[in-house]
Structure 1
Amino acid sequence: MAEDLVVTRTLVVPAAELGERFSRSSGPGGQGVNTADSRVELSFDLAASPSVPEWLRTRMLARLRTRLTDGVLTIAASEHRTQLQNRAAARERMARLLRDAAAAPPPVRRATKPTRGSQERRIAEKKRRSQTKQGRRGGGWD
């Protein structure tokens, strides 16, 4: 019944590498909440996964270091009343987290100098501001 977790077009986590645990959930459900194990805990051992390339694993481990416990990423979902909906929510959240962690870093910003025109405009605005403030000085109400 479990299917592979598609993170990106090139990264797919096999269902065998995902662990699911079910437990009782708090929240809505009435009498059924005491009997139904609708809370889902989805876990993925990122550090030991053979499906993630080594170069990508190091990037993902670095970005997810605050979310990992011994290299394992765990997501809990209990916002829905049914186990099926919670499973789908947990899988979606897991895929989004892994997708964000796998994203390429932004391009490095190259430092540039301000143009002569922008420098002149800045200085002219500073002078205007100075004149405004100087006009407020001294005198007072007589």
Structure 2
Amino acid sequence: MIPITSAIAIAETEITESFVRASGPGGQNVNKLATAVQLRFDLVNSPSLPDDIKARLRDLAGSRVTEDGVLIIDSRRFRTQKRNREDAMERLVAIIRQAAQPPPIRYKTRPTLASKLRRLDSKRRGADIKRGRGRVDPGRE
């Protein structure tokens, strides 16, 4: 089990990894070894996550979630396969932790009288400036 929070943990069997060749630094290893990691987590069919967290995770992940509901995390920052695997796992845990945090409750507020007056004064000044940009009448000089 991979611990996410004190209440949430994911089984290793829910995650699949595939390795591909990476671009970037690494010399001849780039051409020979598959060091980049594609980590796949089936978000829709995961029994470990509650539905509200799944919904927030889908929104947070954006284009990293496929139409089938599979979250794909790609890691190719490091030269070794082991370090890329660790990096991908850390990123998965981080995004799930972020989704596990419920959004803060938004309380409606009303603008203060002073802020309303400032806004109206600013609008009045802008209108005066624009009114002064009109054509100059040659007979009034």
- Smaller-chain TM-score range? 0.7 to 0.9
Paired position in structure 1 for 2:33? 36
Aligned alpha-carbon RMSD (Å): 3.0
Residue in structure 1 matched with residue 70 of structure 2 by the alignment? 72
Q: Give the Cα–Cα distance (whole angstroms) in 1 for the partners of residues 31 and 37 of structure 2.
A: 15
Runs of 4+ in 1 over 4 A off after TM superposition: 117-132
Q: TM-score, normalised by structure 1?
A: 0.72
- Which range moved further: 101-110 or 67-76? 101-110
Amino acid at match of 1:33: V
Distance of aligned partners of 1:6 and 1:129 in 2 relative to their CA distance in 1, 3 Å threshold = same
State the shift of 1:28 in Å: 1.6
* TM-score in terms of structure 2 length: 0.73
Tell me what 1:12 maps to: 9
What is the CA-CA distance between 1:9 and the residue it aligns to?
2.5
Q: Does 1:49 align with 2:49?
A: no
Aligned length: 138
* Structure 2 portions without partners, runs of 5+: 130-135, 137-141
Give the match for residue 24 of structure 2.
27
Report the Cα distance in structure 1 between the residues aligned to 2:119 and 2:52, rounded to whole angstroms.
46
Greater shift in the superposed pair: 38-47 or 27-36: 27-36
Structure 1: runs of 5+ lacking an equivalent: 133-137
Relative to structure 1, the CA distance from residue 16 to residue 117 in structure 2 (aligned partners, 3 Å threshold; closer, same or farther) is same
Q: Which moved more, 1:7-16 or 1:73-82?
A: 7-16
Identity of aligned residues (%): 39
Q: Is the 8 A contact 1:64 1:101 kept in 2?
A: no
Give the distance between the partners of 1:36 and 1:131, measured in 2 at CA.
69
**One-letter code aligned to 1:99:** R
